[in-house]
Structure 1
Amino acid sequence: MATKNKVSLKLLIDKRSNRVLFAEAGKDFVDFLFTLLSLPVGTVIRLLKKPAMVGCIGNLYESLENLNEAYMQPNQSKDLLLKPTVPLTQLAHVPLLLPGTRPLKTEAGRKLYGCSYSGNHRCVTDQRGSPCSNCKNSMTYELPFIGTNTNNKSASNTATSNSEGGFVKGLVTYMVTDDLSVSPLSMISGVALLNKFSVKGFGALKEKMVEFGIDEPLIVFLWQGVELLKASLQSKTALTNISFTSRMATENKVSLKLLIDKKANKVLFAEAGKDFVDFLFTLLSLPVGTVIRLLKQPAMVGCIGNLYESLENLNEAYIQPNQSKDSLLKPTVPLTQLAHVPLLLPDTLPLKPEAGRKLYGCSKYSNHRCVTDQRGSPCSDCHYSMNYELTFIGTNTNNTSASNTATSSSEGGVVKGLVTYMVTDDLSVSPLSMISGVALLNKFSVMGFGALKEKMVEFGIDEGVELLKASLQSKTALTSVFLAKDEIKDAAAPN
């Protein structure tokens, strides 16, 4: 019962506690829920707005928005992190229940380039001006990208055998509990849930049909995609909330200097170089599924971790034949152009995921210069199956023949080097300024320099995970990561 931007589902409500016990939902709603796991953190912040975010990661977003373009690498755009693409090429039929995420088939608007000298040199890049692997000529010839064709009869076995699209199979009713655990509907599971919440009789229950859409606040019980995303990150009762409310770096280490208020035992700010700031800003591009996997479900605020666990436990029989759970559980980090960012989070190798991604060209004519990531899609020129695997060439930041969009140095990353940045305890980032530093000391009522101390710390993979966690939970992220818990407790204790 779904229109393009609206989905209907049935709630079972405990009238006594005014609480949603569970919803009976179809494929459309479950597809929407699971694809939340693929949203980049930057997209989540943009949708929810900074004040609605738990923790201080919203300050990172605002810092990047306010950062002068002069500090950005010449081949980088802020929008790569502020408005990252949602990599859902194969999920074109998922209802568009979040604003500003069109098109979900982002690859269709993505630019790919081939060799300008010869169509027979069958290699592809997304960095205009990269050298061809065959003739070393600049690759500046724009190639048409052909998206997934789910109805293509000549497609390989990886293509879907029907036009359902999305992630899970239709013709199945799913149970979505208040804390967003998802499973196929089962009467036994339903009875167990009623017992769990001490429902004494069916007279205490009522059914309610609701519509779930992008955002229509004038209708009291209309479900809102943005509100559900927000509740999934903040609350364990998401359905009820929605229904009843209207250069000192080694490969894996970065050094930085902390300024600490000894009296309050609080980090006031850190002086950091390009490596640490690059790492912070690239957190905005992490898909939600990656964040949950790194932090583990119990560490997540809200109940979105239950979505992750539900998908892990969902039987493969309910998954569309052309889909893999790992596309949402272990989504790729779209950082092709950020190859030089320090690898300070575990299991995110490679940061250049495109290198392992397969692209295909026309199998019959080499000069039919179109590209697809769906093996067997028809060539736009001759309609022959595209089964010829193409070589993908990643960004070459040292390429002297690259166009003006390519970087003019080997720095890589997001921001420029040779600049010292100030990172406050709540992860606001700005170029270091003595005046801003003095203003910060006044803000925290620091009476004299004797109350301050410097501390050099090393930031590695363990601290990377801790900082990601603190950015989602705390307004004092640096203090949480770098100052011992017992020291903080002692400083807070009355004399």
Structure 2
Amino acid sequence: MAFKEETKLPLKLLVDKERNRVVVAEAGGELVDILFSFLTLPLGTIIRLLSNKHGKDEAKEIGCINNLYRSVESSGDEILWNKICKRMLLSPRNPCEELCQKLKLNVDDTEPIKYFMCSNKCQRGSDYVLSTFAEASCSCGKLMDKQMKLYGNSNKGSHADGVFVKGETIYLIFDDLRVLQSSLGKSVQQLLQLGYKNFHNLTEKSLNVGLNEILDILKQALTSQSPLSDVLLGNGECKKVWTFSPKHRPKDQDRIDSNSHINLKVTVRKLKETILYAEAEGDFVDFLFSFLTTPLGCILKLLDGNFSMGCMNNLYKSVKDLNPSWFTRSLGTTPLLNLQVAPQFSCGKQPTQLCEENIPNYWYSMSTTSSNGVISKEYSQIQRPSLMKLFEPRSPNGTKKSTVGFVRRPSLFVVWDDLQVTPLANTSSISLLQKLNVPLDDLEEHELRLEEIEALNLMGASLTSKAALTEGLFYLLKKPKA
């Protein structure tokens, strides 16, 4: 049996021999496209990819996000609405799925979107019902498991001009993942800035990189400022580079009376000034779980330089600094700076400005040679089209109007400082207090209100700390100095 040869991409390194460091690399647009695709990956996908490659015990810990992922993995039917919600959180959809499928090497192994109808072709009102999940239950009681072909989907296949950037251009990639268009002037300028006046200690090295190396670079880029040296020169692990400091609400800024705020009850240990745990309803847990479905580029944009995570900020800034002429002609601009959560994958109550992509219209036609009929996103591409309604998996009855989120309502949860989530119904309060093993008179309960600033602080802390509640929210409990 013949095996398909693994795809490899050429990469030329300029290496400092004495320090065993990559000074700069040169590569084509195909490799730069792959690096930029890191920004499209939801956090849950990143955790799954690295766990599958390195094993759960050796997977890169991203602040407390791994604990959120494990909480979903170990959750029972009493936490989430259904099995679809669990799969959505563990294998979230990439908002740039169609584009990433054109990459020479696509690191995202999430199953591509599929479309299903009930075999009875049931309707809700005058509209046919469509699901992107095979496990969805139709109102007639049957599973929506009849797979449908999407007609007129011309976005499949390779992209000769490149995916995000033009493919026939040479780029400079620095050890900290800063990306520049290659030119003699920029090369001289950058080498001088790095302290190199000549090539005496520098040597060229050419190699080919495949999926294993790309995944290792992704892993290192989350915590390191030198992922190319770590992976391609075998330098291994290095000191983690994570920084975060909470933003404080300006004294003259009033709180906004908004329905998107979330109330939270926290228990603190006074002497150590730490938040031990929070008691929360479904809205807060939904917000936390939605971190898993959020693309990395969305988070970098929302936090706007208020935290650093390895060298991912450099990758995002490289996209921001791109000359428009770098982009592919088909895009004209880049979606990487305006990423949103994939349709149906956000939480119901969102305190931040994080948005979910609009659900596209789908049309159904029986006027075809296919006995099943066909569906299309384009009204004009099929005969006598009928508008379809998309099944909503985060709802008790599958409708958008009743969407509440991933977790069941009403429910109460214990969220620990490291973002492990436990249903309160399964937790004895006496056992919980015994587990804490702290003096009872050192405990104090507070109520917090999370609006945009507080929610973003918690998001930043969850990516950079093992004590997210304390790092992200304890400042709210400190009394201002006289």
TM-score by length of 1: 0.77
Q: What percent of counterpart residues are identical?
A: 29
List aligned pairs for 1:153-302, cutoff 5 A: 163-164=160-161, 166-215=163-212, 224-243=213-232, 244-246=234-236, 251-297=259-305, 299-302=307-310
Match of 2:254 in 1: none
Residue among 462, 465, 475 paired with 1:474:
465
8 Å Cα contact 1:114-1:125 kept in structure 2:
no
List aligned pairs for 1:75-474, cutoff 5 A: 76-87=84-95, 88-96=97-105, 98=107, 101=109, 106-107=112-113, 109-111=114-116, 116=121, 125-126=130-131, 143-146=148-151, 148-149=153-154, 163-164=160-161, 166-215=163-212, 224-243=213-232, 244-246=234-236, 251-297=259-305, 299-323=307-331, 325-336=333-344, 341-346=348-353, 348-349=354-355, 351=356, 353-355=357-359, 357=360, 359=362, 369-373=373-377, 391=387, 393-395=389-391, 406=398, 410=402, 412-432=404-424, 441=433, 445-447=437-439, 449-474=440-465
Deviations 1:261-316 (A, max 9, x none): 11111111011111111111111000111111111135121111222222222233
8 Å Cα contact 1:111-1:142 kept in structure 2:
yes
Distance 2:115 2:6 in 1: 24
8 Å Cα contact 1:40-1:288 kept in structure 2:
yes
Distance 2:49 2:147 in 1: 32
Q: Taking structure 1 as reference, are residues 202 and 315 closer, same or farther at Cα in structure 2, changes over 3 Å only?
A: same
Question: Unpaired segments of 5 or more residues in structure 1?
Answer: 132-137, 153-159, 216-223, 377-384, 491-495
Q: Taking structure 1 as reference, are residues 273 and 74 closer, same or farther at Cα in structure 2, changes over 3 Å only?
A: same
- The more displaced of 320-329 and 390-399 is 390-399
1:334 CA drift (Å): 2.1
Question: Unpaired segments of 5 or more residues in structure 2?
Answer: 237-256
8 Å Cα contact 1:260-1:268 kept in structure 2:
yes
Distance 1:122 1:433 in 2: 40
SS in 2 for 1:176: strand
1:486 CA drift (Å): 9.3
1:485 CA drift (Å): 7.9
8 Å Cα contact 1:363-1:386 kept in structure 2:
no
1:14 CA drift (Å): 1.5
Distance 1:12 1:36 in 2: 24
Q: Taking structure 1 as reference, are residues 361 and 398 closer, same or farther at Cα in structure 2, changes over 3 Å only?
A: closer
Match of 2:16 in 1: 14
1:454 CA drift (Å): 0.7
1:202 CA drift (Å): 1.0
SS in 1 for 2:24: strand
Residue among 26, 29, 45 paired with 2:28:
26
Q: What is the aligned-residue RMSD (CA, Å)?
A: 3.9
Match of 1:55 in 2: 63
Distance 1:73 1:226 in 2: 33
SS in 1 for 2:78: helix
Q: Taking structure 1 as reference, are residues 111 and 22 closer, same or farther at Cα in structure 2, changes over 3 Å only?
A: farther
8 Å Cα contact 1:26-1:172 kept in structure 2:
yes
Paired residue type of 1:279: F
Q: Taking structure 1 as reference, are residues 94 and 237 closer, same or farther at Cα in structure 2, changes over 3 Å only?
A: same
Match of 2:72 in 1: 64
Match of 2:243 in 1: none
Match of 1:380 in 2: none
TM-score by length of 2: 0.79
SS in 1 for 2:317: helix
Distance 2:71 2:365 in 1: 45
Distance 1:17 1:10 in 2: 18
